[in-house]
Homo-oligomer: A and B are copies of this chain.
Amino acid sequence: MSQPRKPNPARRSERSRQAVLDAARDLVSELGYAKVSIEAIAARAGVGKQTIYRWWPSKGAVIFDSFLALSESEEGMSLPDTGDLEADLKIVMRATVAEFADPAFEAPIRALNTEIIGDPALAAQYREKLAGPVDEAKKERLRSAQRAGQLAADADLDLVLEVLYAPLYQRWLHRSGPLTPQYADALVEITLRAFAP
């Protein structure tokens, strides 16, 4: 006689949590942040509203976690290091520009950025959990270039990353110019010239 299978609350709970995160991300991409409600996330995930409020205090918090879940799968990220800084950065920047030019990718990132601007606590969380680790991986590559004499040894690496990425970020946010591979290359060339040894 087979044992009746016992429900496993921990596993069911993790499945619900994952469904909520997937639903939050999908809905933000489809509708934009402003039109997404906790009710809609609950309905899409097939859970009750109270299930969401048990784990997250607000819509912003669920959506932030849904992005965090994405980047956690990239754990241990690192940049290519072929020894040629310019070539390596151009690969990375062309990929970044392509992502920001892709409507499916950029919609949720735009929603997150809108939240961050108005919410200093969320901005701090974003820096600590998302931007910080990614920036650290980039700096690791820049330090390797400094050791190889391809970048000024005294360069402020936070400033290097700002000069490399902020123009793209602003152009994307304001839709003020084309996001092309040529633009990615130009940013790399300008940055390396600015911080040449």
Give chain A's interface residues, CB within 8 Å of chain B.
32-34, 110, 113-114, 116-118, 120, 123-124, 126-127, 131, 156, 158-159, 162-163, 165-167, 169-171, 173-177, 186, 190-191, 193-196
Interface of A is mostly: helix
- Enumerate chain B residues within 8 angstroms of A162, measured Cβ to Cβ: 166-167, 170-171
- Enumerate chain B residues within 8 angstroms of A110, measured Cβ to Cβ: 117-118
Q: Among B33, B156, B163, B177, which residue has its beta carbon within 8 angstroms of that of A163?
A: B163
Measured CA separation A179–B196 after assembly (Å): 25
* Whole-angstrom distance between the Cβ of A195 and the nearest chain B Cβ: 8
* Whole-angstrom distance between the Cβ of A169 and the nearest chain B Cβ: 5
- Enumerate chain B residues within 8 angstroms of A156, measured Cβ to Cβ: 186
Measured CA separation A194–B164 after assembly (Å): 12
Are A163 and B158 touching (Cβ within 8 A)? no
Of all A-B residue pairs in the complex, the 6 with the closest CB atoms, nearest first, are A162-B167, A194-B194, A166-B166, A166-B170, A166-B167, A190-B194
- Enumerate chain B residues within 8 angstroms of A127, measured Cβ to Cβ: 174, 176
* Whole-angstrom distance between the Cβ of A101 and the nearest chain B Cβ: 14
* Whole-angstrom distance between the Cβ of A155 and the nearest chain B Cβ: 10
The answer to whether A123 and B175 touch (CB under 8 A), given A166-B170, A169-B170, A170-B170, is yes
The answer to whether A175 and B118 touch (CB under 8 A), given A159-B190, A170-B166, A191-B194, is no
Measured CA separation A34–B174 after assembly (Å): 20
Q: Among B118, B173, B191, which residue has its beta carbon within 8 angstroms of that of A34?
A: B118
